[in-house]
Structure 1
């Protein structure tokens, strides 16, 4: 693939992900317009749109609907996708049901900062892995053990970033029931993914077992 072809492919992918994100949010706005029109004036909604739009656009391998399931994945990608989707829908439904008079208080700003920080960490991890980053669990034939960027500190920084972002969305919206449910369901989904992925990586990548000994899975190991 030459540079021009690569550029066209990259721009086409960015355009597709942008349109995909806009269509989903247009549907959400339509639902809110019918169910609870004042929600359209909540700054929380548009700040959340900004985060999710960037999450969809900035990550080159973020294609959960591409249908490229691999035999090694064991359904972990679908589990994470549906857990995240249900957790976020639960937060929005709770907001619609209780219709709280939420404001951008200290809790909202702190949650928003953590969401943005989680997205930044995940994006850094994705670009550090480059072509070795895939949505489904997959090990490429020439794949090395990556220990640069955020991978110097943790083995799965992309999961750490995603987990932080999605756990704090309900907190940002003051959807406390969804926040508690997400705090249970989301770590469970990512834990299953990590267990399955690391079994494959230990069996496939030379040096990965020693990498496990030196680093934590989601958070840095304490000295």
Structure 2
């Protein structure tokens, strides 16, 4: 795979992220119209910066460091990237209008236990972790893979804490008789 084709792959992933942002905005409106409560908004700018820097880093490292495409690594990583996109949209579909890039919980709604949520509490985060390694490694951008993985682990720690608090609060408020 040439560096040009790899760049187009990263751009395609970026375009998909823009589509996710549009879905997220629509779903946020849906949630707020039903009394949704947002938690942990403070980490969202860091998440946007990290994910944007990740995509830029993938391309920059390949071009500036002259990273080669190594077929024995690149093709399996590409297969993982493609699988990640499928699982990500499976997560979006399973959550329906409750899926969001923000932490918004509609009080009184039960937890989703269908789709990939049957097996994992946070399948989309598993996808982000796998993709964070696989996308850069498609074309040997190992520094981007390592830096993103460490930074994303720190960010996910904050994110999961916010989500758990939001869900706990929603469950507690649903248990209190009106």
Fold match (TM-score > 0.5): yes
Q: Which residue of 1 aligns with 2:99?
A: 133
Larger RCO (CA within 8 A; separation ≥ 6): 2
Unaligned segments of structure 1, at least 5 residues:
1-37, 207-223
Name the structure 1 match of 2:7. Answer: 45
Q: Secondary structure at the match of 1:193?
A: helix
Partner of 2:43: 76
Return the offset for 1:166. Answer: 2.9
Deviation at 1:191? 2.2
TM-score, normalized by length of structure 2? 0.77
Out of 96, 102, 111, the residue aligned to residue 77 of structure 2 is 111
Report Cα offsets for 1:149-200 as digits up to 9, x if no partner. Answer: 1111111112222232233222112112222111211122122101111122
- Write the distance in 2 (CA, Å) between the matches of 1:62 and 1:112: 26
Matching of residue 147 in structure 1 with residue 110 in structure 2: no
> Residues of 2 paired with 1:201 and 1:71: CA distance?
11
Q: Aligned match of 2:66 in 80, 99, 103?
A: 99
Show CA shifts across 1:119-176 (max 9, x none).
Answer: 2111101111111112211111342111111111111112222232233222112112
Task: Give structure 2 stretches of 5+ with no counterpart.
Answer: 173-178
Matched, 1:202 2:168: yes
Instruction: Give the 3-state SS of the residue equivalent to 2:39 in structure 1.
Output: coil
- Aligned to 1:103, what secondary structure does the other structure show? coil
